[in-house]
Amino acid sequence: MNFQHSVLSFVGFLFFASLPVASNAQDLIARQAPVDHRVKAADSISLKHLLTIERNEELKGLYPDFNNNSVHHYKGAAIPDSFRIDLRHFCMPTPSTKITSGYGYRPAFRRVHKGLDIKVYIGDTIKSAYSGRVRIVSYEAGGYGKYVVIRHNNGLETVYGHLSKQLVEENQVVKAGEPIGLGGNTGLVTGSHLHFETLFLGKAIDPALLFDFEHQDIVQDFYTFYNTDKSSDEKYASAEREGEKSNTISDVRYRKVKRGDTLESIAAELGTSVDVLTRQNNISAKSRLRPGQIIRFAE
């Protein structure tokens, strides 16, 4: 009996002696799991950092300098054949949804209106559409009035005109949604409103192709700028040189995409072709239309 008791005691000792080893092994595995997670997180952060560096390098070569004097200073800059603009991470400059004047040619002034006029009241807060750096804070009596120009991290520049007060300074870094001014009626205006422009290397882009003010959203996540056609100013100047009257210049029409719409159905409705719509809207024939998206058609 004593022998059996000794054997059982020895076996029990071995069993309990092994428990710390197993426990240590489990602790080791448990400690390794968070390490693996941190490694993956570090890899993700590193990838984002590399992508940010690549994007910044790409943007760095776009603009020749940071001029604080002229809104359209970069008209003569080397413009790429195409450039993909990231429209995400935005903030609508105003909660107002009423457009009082669209983008396009104005026969009365014999020039192109290069932005949208959005109804705001004196003192309404105007916010930066994207993060970026303030390029111009100035005043123009015969035009913009008190205005602000911001260059953004996605390559766009935005102009905010007819402000009653500017809340930022030149070269100041701002975030998307940060107040940059107050609505007003300064400059050449007939009533209080925000004149809002979107520019790429000095070339105006119809803001309605990027922003859906009615739904306070962007039209799509990315917009591809194509440097293929003459600017609106060049086309109208050419028409006048050929003796055409200003009132024969076609008007710009807008069509909001509804569920079930296709480029073919919209082209048929507008009396044009898919090829014309794709060129005028900088999209491809295979582009997927999103309800609420704005399709522009210049007759």
Each residue's pLDDT tens digit, 245-268: 333 334 567 777 888 888 888 888
pLDDT value of residue 251: 52
Return d(Cα 120, Cα 163) in angstroms, integer: 10
Please state, rounded to an integer, the average pLDDT across all residues of the chain. 77
CATH 2.70.70.10 fits 82-241, yes or no: yes
Q: Which residues pair with 152 in a beta bridge?
A: 132
CATH 2.70.70.10-classified regions of the chain: 82-241
Each residue's pLDDT tens digit, 153-170: 999 999 999 999 999 999
Segment 219-241 mean pLDDT: 62
CATH 3.10.350.10-classified regions of the chain: 250-299
Residue with the bigger pLDDT between 132 and 65: it is 132
Return d(Cα 58, Cα 154) in angstroms, integer: 10
The rounded Cα 147 to chain-centroid distance in angstroms is 20
pLDDT value of residue 287: 80
Name the pLDDT band for 288 (thresholds 50, 70, 90). Answer: confident
Please give the model's pTM, rounded to 2 decimal places.
Answer: 0.64
Contact 215, 292 (CB under 8 A): yes
pLDDT value of residue 255: 77
Return d(Cα 159, Cα 71) in angstroms, integer: 8
CB atoms within 10 A of CB 127: 19
Counting residues of the chain whose pLDDT is more than 90, the rounded percentage is 35
pLDDT value of residue 246: 34
Sequence-distant (6+) residues with CB within 8 A of 125 are 94, 179, 182, 183
pLDDT value of residue 236: 43
Class of domain 250-299: alpha beta
Nearest to 181 by CA among 158, 213, 205: 158
Contact 163, 182 (CB under 8 A): yes
Name the pLDDT band for 294 (thresholds 50, 70, 90). Answer: confident
pLDDT value of residue 297: 80
pLDDT value of residue 192: 93
Residue with the bigger pLDDT between 213 and 38: it is 213
Each residue's pLDDT tens digit, 187-196: 988 889 999 9
